[in-house]
Amino acid sequence: MKRILLFCGLLALGLQMRAEGYQVNLQGNRQTGMGHTGTGLFFGASSMHFNPGALSFLDKKYDFSFGGSAVFSNNTFQKQTPSVYEAKSDNPVGTPFYFYGATKLTNKLVVGLSVTSPYGNTLKWGDDWDGKYLIQDISLKAIFVQPTMSYKINDKLGLGLGLMAVSGSVDLNKALPVHDTMGDASVNITGNTWAFGFNAGVSYQATDKLSLGLSYRSKVMVEMEGGDADFTVPNSLAGVYTDTKFNAELPMPTNITFGLGYQINEKLLLAADLQYVGWSAYESLDFDFEAESVPDSKNQRDFDNTMIYRLGAEYTMNDKIQFRAGIYYDSTPIPEDLLTPETPGTNKIGMSMGCGYQICDKLSVDVSLLYIHGEKREDGYAPTNFYGTYYTNAVIPGIGLNYSF
Amino acid sequence: MLKTILKYTMLLTAVLLWSCEPNTDEFTPANGSADFSKFVAIGDSYTAGYTDGALGRKGQESGFSYILGQQLAYVGSNSYNQPLVQSEGSVGTTDLPAGGKNGYLKLELSEAGIAPVPTVGDMSIFADEIYSPDNQNFGVPGAKVIHLGELPDPSPSYAQLNPFFKRFASSDQATVIGDAMAANPSFVSLWIGGNDVLTYALTGGEDDAITPSAMFDYALSEIAKVAFGSGQQGVIANVPGIDALPYFTTIPYNAFTIDAKTAAVLNSKYEQYNLAAKQMGLAEMVFSEGSNAFVIYDETIPAQLGSRRQATSDDRLLLTAKAEAQSWTATSDPILGNEFVLTTTELDEIRNATNAYNETIKGISKQYGLAHVDLYAIMKELSEKGLVIDGHKYSAAFVSGGAFSLDGIHATGRGSAIIANAFIEAINTTYKANVPLANVNDYDMVEFP
């Protein structure tokens, strides 16, 4: 059995894979170990992200869970042939994290608070790489703070609702095609702001073995107003490219996820999630600069809606140890001819494994390892005619602690 | 059980870490059916690496033939040796203007705005004696097609006429094509013909003459016979149109800006002209406050009308017209002389000649099976629509366009890379080769202060 699984896993390395814009799905190490399934499961406080409806099924009075992952991502760009040019990104280690805290107020009502980072993008191509006029480096972060309430209608059905308050920030650098003795001019764009949305879910224990869940995370349009655009330009052009403020907006798209869990026997739990991501909300990335002399920047995106298919399993060895494995397929929202090095998305396959250990009655630890393999993608951004082949992968170890009493 | 799981876990981890960096498919350069072992470039100032109004190391080390030479190194070329300027300086012409300012142009910021100004030239460059049998760049600033071969008696030899050639010629009696072929090239790039119209155009059609197309055809055929007649492979490029060069497109015909008082003075001054012009069916001259069409010299207008008229959008003012107009004072007769203007008649002669040259060049490329570079089309696209390359849109706009240097005729490093890539694409097509393109972004544009 395991031999077959392993064989399938290795085979998948050579298959075509799928991507995900700037979404980061790493909101619980137990779930991550299982291919980031969980919408149809009852995993305590971390349900706040996956399905607020499942939170009402909390076992203990208090449940806390926190953890994080380290994203080691690699991007390689080979310029469109004939060319010998190749660039490798030097990405800083991404550190998405999560914190969940929940308490049962009554037998039916659970409230909680979650802090997660489900969106982000950290890429560093370098100041002098060939795509410098598109992007040199970008750091995009969104922290979601979500107070949540979940109500158990009966032993089978739970509903939940959370308010998402989002702190979004961006810091990006790109070169400008104007020279002085120091080389290219450049612009640094920074800003942060708050935006709001909601997360609703319903959870249903259909039979002893089968559980179902549906969650809806609304779109959050992060509207940046009064961000800072700082220009480094030749002295003679300082009057044109003057440091100024900008307005821009970036959507965190709608997510609708249907999940199910199936307890085959006491030891083996299977899970599957079908996640729809409303990426079509990302039509354009426009910077509206306050200074009249600085031309506004309009950048076509026109992303497509996508689906992510997830499968996961958890094998309970004994009271102390659980082993997990999962696989998912994530299709890219980025259409042909609109692929930028700022978000070099491609169809990706994710393969994960994980392990849980019950340290004592109240405390358990989860570790996970996720490998994301991006399908090589030969494409580019037509408006600025920058084409080549992008190769992407990431190795993401994670660890989390759960404390409940 | 636990052991088995651990074993496979470690195995899978090993696979993951081993493939931590994405595996990439390598691009393999290939020479196809061409032999690039000895590449030689023959041509004019573009081939020489002339830029910003002068010849110096900066341009020689970012000229199109240099970039092409670098890229050919991936497919079997062993070297690209040039007659490099021996000093840090640069020199543009043999005439020494006031202050010796015949070196590179550079942008300077003044109260009037940002404008190119010449730097001091280094005349000692003309005293270089750097003949080398290893030289591979036979680009001579100013050369027309007839200059490449033996000049007819009683003309002195080209090495004696053109100090840009003399500095690296094998002898006083040497010919450009003779020296080039003595280098035993396996692959030749030939781009010549620009000066056959440009030298005339740069004087506003006042001096010099357009090379008659029959003479061009004969002379280039003779050169091609020597360059490619004994089986050499190569590439030949055609002549860009004059309308693509910022030198002739930057100053608008109607940039003559005056106040109401000056307009009134001019209107009364040309009252008689207008009466006579009306009778002859010629256009009248009318001035108003604001921008007006310049008054230009036109020899086709009768002398009794002063051989002058107002420019139209069909005329082209030279870049030098700007400084001329700025030099006018209240007492000047504001007219742009012949040397500042190409009239429609002159432009048609230039365009017709260019088209005829390009027919000859196309014919020669077919005759010898050479790669043919349609720079006429590329420069036309650059000037009319712009070229979007790797994140930036290049145009033929003066200073800001990115492709043309401060002299408004020659290319920047980026412009040279665009030209070199056009050569490479033509070579790849004709010789089924896979010569890698140059990275345009690796080269320089105009430098701002």
Q: Do B16 and A395 touch (CB under 8 A)?
A: yes
Strands B90-91 and B187-191: unpaired
Dihedral, CA of residue A170, residue A172, residue A178 and residue A180, to nearest 10: 120
Give the model's pLDDT for residue A16.
31
Q: How do residues A218-269 score in pLDDT, each as one tens digit?
A: 999 999 999 999 999 999 999 899 999 999 999 999 999 999 999 999 999 9
Q: Which residues pair with B400 in a beta bridge?
A: none
The answer to whether B115 contacts chain A (CB < 8 Å) is no
Q: What is the rounded distance in angstroms from the CA atom of residue B66 to the CA atom of residue B419?
A: 11
Residue A173: give its domain's CATH number. Answer: 2.40.160.60
Q: Would you write out chain B's pLDDT as a tens digit for each of its 449 residues?
A: 566 666 666 666 655 555 566 777 788 999 999 999 999 999 999 999 999 999 999 999 999 999 999 999 999 999 999 999 999 999 998 887 878 899 999 999 888 788 999 999 999 999 999 999 999 999 999 999 999 999 988 899 999 999 999 999 999 999 999 999 999 999 999 999 999 999 999 998 888 899 999 999 999 999 999 999 998 999 999 999 999 999 999 999 999 999 999 999 999 999 999 999 999 999 999 999 999 999 999 999 999 899 999 999 999 999 999 999 999 988 889 999 999 999 999 999 999 999 999 999 999 999 999 999 999 999 999 999 999 999 999 999 999 999 999 999 999 999 999 999 999 999 999 999 999 999 999 999 999 99
Q: Is the pLDDT of residue A370 over 80?
A: yes
Longest dimension (CA), chain B: 112
Q: Which residues of B touch A72 (CB under 8 A)?
A: 20
Q: Which of B392, B399, B405 to probe the A interface (max A CBs under 10 A)?
A: B392
Q: Do A72 and B20 touch (CB under 8 A)?
A: yes
Q: Are B27 and A83 in contact (CB under 8 A)?
A: yes
Q: How do residues A21-77 score in pLDDT, each as one tens digit?
A: 688 889 999 999 999 999 999 999 999 999 999 999 998 999 999 999 999 999 999
Domains and CATH numbers, chain B: 39-243+345-442 (3.40.50.1110), 256-344 (no CATH)
The answer to whether A397 contacts chain B (CB < 8 Å) is no
Cis bond upstream, residue A82 (ω within 30): yes
User: For B141, what's the count of Cα atoms within 13 Å in the CB-facing half-sphere?
Assistant: 24
Cis bond upstream, residue B246 (ω within 30): no
The answer to whether A84 contacts chain B (CB < 8 Å) is yes
Nearest CB neighbour to A385, from listed B114, B388, B402: B388
Q: Do B20 and A85 touch (CB under 8 A)?
A: no
Give the model's pLDDT for residue A6.
44
- Interior angle at CA B325, CA B319 and CA B329, nearest 5: 160
Residue A181 — very low, low, confident or very high, per pLDDT cuts 50/70/90? confident
Q: What is the rounded distance in angstroms from the CA atom of residue A49 to the CA atom of residue A65?
A: 12
Phi/psi at A382 (5° precision):
-60, -45
What are the E-state strand segments in B315-423? 316-317, 341-342, 371-373, 387-389, 392-394
Give the model's pLDDT for residue B5.
64
Angle between helices B260-269 and B271-280 (to 10 degrees): 50
Q: Is the pLDDT of residue A5 over 50?
A: no
* Alpha carbon distances (Å) from A344 to A89, A93, A168, A221: 11, 17, 21, 22
Residue A20 — very low, low, confident or very high, per pLDDT cuts 50/70/90? low
Nearest CB neighbour to B390, from listed A74, A130, A180: A130
Phi/psi at B71 (5° precision):
-70, -35
Nearest CB neighbour to A133, from listed B9, B392, B444: B392
Q: Which residues of B touch A375 (CB under 8 A)?
A: none
Q: Is the pLDDT of residue A10 over 50?
A: no
State percent of chain A over pLDDT 70: 95
Average pLDDT, chain A: 92
Strands B39-43 and A86-88: unpaired
Interface of A with B in 333-352 (CB under 8 A): none
- The secondary element (H helix, E strand) that includes residue B424 is helix B413-431
Q: Is the pLDDT of residue A1 over 80?
A: no
Distance from CA of A183 to the nearest CA of B (A): 8
**Mean pLDDT along residues A296-310:** 95
Q: Do B448 and A234 touch (CB under 8 A)?
A: yes
Size of interface A-B (CB pairs under 8 A): 122
Q: What is the rounded distance in angstroms from the CA atom of residue B388 to the CA atom of residue B395?
A: 9
Residue B99: how many other CB atoms lie within 10 Å: 10
**Mean pLDDT along residues A192-204:** 96
Cα A335 versus chain centre, distance = 19
Give the DSSP letter string of B148-198. Answer: GSPPPTTSPPHHHH-HHHHTT-SSTT--HHHHHHHT--SEEEEE--HHHHH
Give Cβ neighbours of residue B259 (< 8 Å, ≥ 6 apart). B289
Whole-angstrom distance between the N-terminal and C-terminal Cα of chain A? 37
For A290, the domain range is 2-404
Interface of B with A in 74-103 (CB under 8 A): 74
| Number of domains observed in the structure of chain A | 1
Q: How do residues A111-169 score in pLDDT, each as one tens digit?
A: 999 999 998 888 999 999 999 999 999 999 999 999 999 999 999 999 999 999 999 99
Q: Do B391 and A177 touch (CB under 8 A)?
A: yes
Q: What is the rounded distance in angstroms from the CA atom of residue B421 to the CA atom of residue B230?
A: 27
